[in-house]
Amino acid sequence: MLMGLYNYWAVVVLMMIGFYIVIAHGNLIKKIVGLSIFQTSVFIFYISMAKVDGGTAPILADGIEQYSNPLPHVLILTAIVVGIATTAVGLALAVRIKEAYGSIEEEEIQKKDNLDC
């Protein structure tokens, strides 16, 4: 049970690490790193569930009976692209925030905003 599902344990651990970083850290770059780890765990989850024991890549060849399911693998290519786009937009925003506020720490930004109001 524990060893047989070790992929999924890795998924859960990564997911929690990523999620914790997003919530607990005030640094905008660290938040984005956390978000990436969180998303990556989902990629591993999709890839693990499509793997069939003893199955190979889905290319038709003689002597091969079992294939892994290629669909989730393809889906996750799309999700990876989405993840990269999200990271890029997030980092671009962090750069603009640094220019506008002179800081990438959540607390300092919030303090400056409160002064504006």
Partner 1 sequence: MLAHLPILQVIVPLLAAPLCLLLNRSRLAWLFTLLASALAFLISGLLTQQVMTTGTIVYELGGWDAPWGIEYRIDQLNALLLLIISGVSTIVLLAAQTSITKEIPGNRHTLFYVLYLLSLAGMLGIVATADAFNVFVFLEISSLSAYALIALGKDRRALWASYQYLIMGTIGATFILIGIGLMYQMTGTLNMHDLSQRLPEVDNTRTVFAAFSFVIVGLCLKLALFPLHLWLPNAYAYAPSIVTAFFAATATKVSIYLLVRFTFSIFGLSFSFTALPLQLLFVVLGLAGVFVASMAAIYQTNIKHLFAYSSIAQVGYMIIGFSISTVSGLTATLLHMFNHALMKGALFVALGAVMYRIGSVKLEDFNGLGRKMPYTMAAIVIGGLSLIGVPLTVGFISKWYLIIALIEKGWWPVVVLVLLGSLLAVIYVWRLVEAAYFKPAATPNETVAEAPVLFLIPIWILVSANIYFGIDTRLSFQVAQAASQSLFGVSP
- Do 21 and 98 form a contact (C-beta atoms < 8 A)? no
104 SS3 class: coil
What's the one-letter identity of residue 102? G
Which of 17, 30, 46, 55 binds partner 1 (CB under 8 A)? It is 46
Nearest to 71 by CA among 54, 60, 58, 83: 58
Phi, psi values for residue 57, rounded to 5°: -60, 145
Among 49, 57, 64, 77, binds partner 1 (CB under 8 A): 49
In angstroms, give the least distance from the CB of 62 to partner 1: 25
Of 54 and 108, nearer to partner 1 (C-beta) is: 108
Residues contributing to the site for partner 1 (CB under 8 A): 19, 22, 28, 31, 35, 38-39, 42, 45-46, 49, 72, 75, 78-79, 82, 85-86, 89-90, 93-94, 96-97, 100-101, 109, 113, 116
